[in-house]
Homo-oligomer: A and B are copies of this chain.
Amino acid sequence: NYAKIDTARKKRTGYPEVIYGAGKTPEQISGIATALKKQGQPVLVTRVTPEKATKVQEKVSDLNYNSTAQVMIWEPQPATHIGEIAIVTAGTSDIQVAEEAAVTAELFGNQVTRIYDVGVAGIQRLFAKLNVIRQAKVIIVIAGMEGALVSVVGGLVDQPVIAVPTSIGYGSNLNGMTPLLGMLNSCSAGISVVNIDNGFGAAYNASMINHLASKEAAR
């Protein structure tokens, strides 16, 4: 009644509907999750606080909660994972967003490599990991403050880079608007941007690209 579940989404766009948890009550989340489960669709709920997760689990006890990524998941991970998505963060504080991305990407059948805390204040940390990063098919770069890591990575690789600004920072950081604007104006080419803290969205994009490559290879 409060929701029209888009059950055709998987057919249409390749992925099932995902529940954005932030604006929903535990009742709404468990209602939609139950409906999806009945249809045999995997369930992913993003932006769930620990308190809300507990209330949801009272109704749908087999929804697993990942407290770092703040997501709930139902259905075993896919057996095989294709390609490789590198998830790179500038700092320690960006890890929550990175894990939202990582869990989403894994659920959608991608292999994930995590490279955290390699921001440009100590750029040698990035160079030490460049070989690993260059092996990935797609790269997600996650950074707050001024977001400069995105431009540096973009200038060093030949894969698509998906940039995620985070709300980490203070004052004129403007809750992430500053890195968002910076990433959109990057002097490096090959970068596209999603909303502030949108780890889910970045992983969704990266997964689409990864599967496209894999589908082509399978022809």
- Please report A residues at the B interface, Cβ cutoff 8 Å: 1-4, 6, 8-9, 12-15, 17-18, 20, 22-24, 28, 32, 90-93, 95, 116-125, 137-138, 143-148, 150-152, 154-160, 162, 165, 167-198, 200-202, 204-205, 208-209, 212-217, 219
Chain B residues with Cβ below 8 Å from A185 are: 145-146, 169, 171-173, 178-179, 195
Count identical subunits in the complex. Answer: 8
Chain B residues with Cβ below 8 Å from A146 are: 146-148, 151, 181-187
Chain B residues with Cβ below 8 Å from A158 are: 12-15, 208
Chain B residues with Cβ below 8 Å from A183 are: 146
Q: From residue A53, how far is it (CB to closest CB) to chain B in Å?
A: 18
B4 touches A117 (CB 8 A): yes
Q: From residue A58, how far is it (CB to closest CB) to chain B in Å?
A: 20
- Cα-based distance from A178 to B92 in the complex (angstroms): 24
Chain B residues with Cβ below 8 Å from A151 are: 120-121, 146, 148
Q: From residue A174, how far is it (CB to closest CB) to chain B in Å?
A: 7
B196 touches A208 (CB 8 A): no
